[in-house]
Homo-oligomer: A and B are copies of this chain.
Amino acid sequence: MNKSLFLATMLVSSSAMAMEALPMSPPIPADNPMSDAKIELGKQLYFDPRLSIDGTVSCNSCHNVMATGTDSRPTSVGIDGQRGGRNAPTVWNAAFLSAQFWDGRAATLEDQAKGPPLNPIEMGMPSEKAVVDRLKAIPGYKDQFNSIFGKVSYDNMAKAIAAYERTLITPNSPFDLYIKGDKAAMNDKAVAGMKLFENIGCAGCHSGANFAGPKLPIGQGFYQKFPANDSKYTAKYDLKADKGRYEATKDKSDMHMWRVPTLRNVALTAPYFHNGSVNTLPEAVRVMSKTQLNKTLNDKQVEKIVAFLESLTGEFPVQTMPRLPDTSTTSLVGTIK
């Protein structure tokens, strides 16, 4: 067991059972304070397909904030119709996670945002310089970067996107209202499901305000082995083909370790698991209880837990569309066929 896992396990033992409402604002890093101008720039960048080599893929393509913050697909589609290897995690409430990506290989939202533009399967830009050159060629971006950061840079691009993502929070789910005292906000089945969720052990890992583990310092991910137990599901859903965090660290103690994902809005983010292999939430609940807790739930128990998970769907804020700054008389992606 590596050190961070050991620490995380200690924390779980002491804090798992206290359920928490979602805070109205996430942690803000000292080196990337929020401002309206930065958030607005980040929103433009988030929606801008010119961050991909051929102008077809934006952050929003796979993390659709008009919907669930995902693409509702098993794995995502990048440039040239290429398929990625893992299911797109939702961007909603990602600001509360202490590590990003399924394998936690990025400590912060800023680090995460630097990945996809350069990934050859996703957005396919050849280098940080190529991204920066393109941003500099768009007068509206150049002006905003200069005003907010003093210059266009790849790091500053990531800071702006991360600032925008920190606004993507879904408070006031039925569960949150219930925890804050409105006992009518959850129906009886959902309340029964919540108790079952605690009693059988789901809350051992899916704890904290984001149901993604205890509060940890940013950069310190909360990981668990999945599947913890082999069962018929291992083969049926091909759960072990991907070695998880081991792929990033090559540390044997990370074999099949995964960052515990949030359960906020989980009723909307099908299909499930790192490979998107399970298409419905009831089946995902069955798989998890078997593989992680070695328990076989009956249909009534599954229904109750699903009712509880549905109560974690929050309020999605109304947003204005960004205007993507233009290039006049020429297209930056127009010569690439």
Q: Which residue of B lies closest to A77 (CB)?
A: B56
Q: Which residue of B lies closest to A50 (CB)?
A: B72
* A49 interface contact, C-beta 8 A: yes
CB pair A54–B77 under 8 Å, yes or no, is: yes
| A334 touching B267 in the complex, CB below 8 Å, given contacts A81-B82, A328-B310 | no
Query: Which interface residue of A73, A322, A329 has the most chain B CB atoms within 10 A?
Result: A329
* A55 interface contact, C-beta 8 A: yes
Q: How far is the CA of A109 from the CA of B79 in the complex (A)?
A: 29
Q: Which of B80, B320, B326, B335 contacts A81 (CB 8 A)?
A: B80
Interface window among A27-35, A185-193, A256-264, A277-285: A277-285
Could you tell me how many residues of chain A have their Cβ less than 8 Å away from some Cβ of chain B?
Answer: 54
CB pair B330–A270 under 8 Å, yes or no, is: yes
Q: How far is the CB of A303 from chain B (nearest CB, A)?
A: 11
Chain B residues contacting A337 (CB-CB under 8 Å) are: 74, 83
Count identical subunits in the complex: 2
CB pair B77–A334 under 8 Å, yes or no, is: no
Q: Which of A285-337 contact B (CB under 8 A)?
A: 306, 310, 313, 316, 318-324, 326-337
Q: How far is the CB of A277 from chain B (nearest CB, A)?
A: 10
Q: How far is the CB of A64 from chain B (nearest CB, A)?
A: 7
* A47 interface contact, C-beta 8 A: yes
Chain B residues contacting A334 (CB-CB under 8 Å) are: 72-74, 270-271, 276, 279
Contact with B along A44-62 (1 / 0, CB 8 A): 0001011000111000010
Chain B residues contacting A271 (CB-CB under 8 Å) are: 331, 334-335
Chain B residues contacting A73 (CB-CB under 8 Å) are: 54-56, 331, 333-334, 336
Chain B residues contacting A113 (CB-CB under 8 Å) are: none
Chain B residues contacting A270 (CB-CB under 8 Å) are: 327, 329-331, 334
CB pair B66–A324 under 8 Å, yes or no, is: yes
Q: Which of B56, B79, B281 contacts A329 (CB 8 A)?
A: B281
Q: Which of B276, B280, B335 contacts A330 (CB 8 A)?
A: B280
* A21 interface contact, C-beta 8 A: no
Contact sample, A vs B, 29 pairs, CB 8 Å cutoff = A54-B73, A56-B61, A56-B73, A56-B77, A64-B324, A66-B321, A66-B322, A66-B323, A66-B324, A67-B324, A80-B81, A81-B81, A83-B337, A267-B328, A268-B328, A270-B327, A270-B329, A270-B331, A270-B334, A271-B331, A271-B334, A276-B334, A279-B331, A279-B334, A281-B328, A282-B329, A310-B328, A319-B320, A321-B321
Other than the known A276-B334, A319-B320, what 6 A-B pairs have Cβ atoms closer than 8 Å?
A49-B64, A54-B73, A56-B61, A73-B334, A74-B337, A267-B328
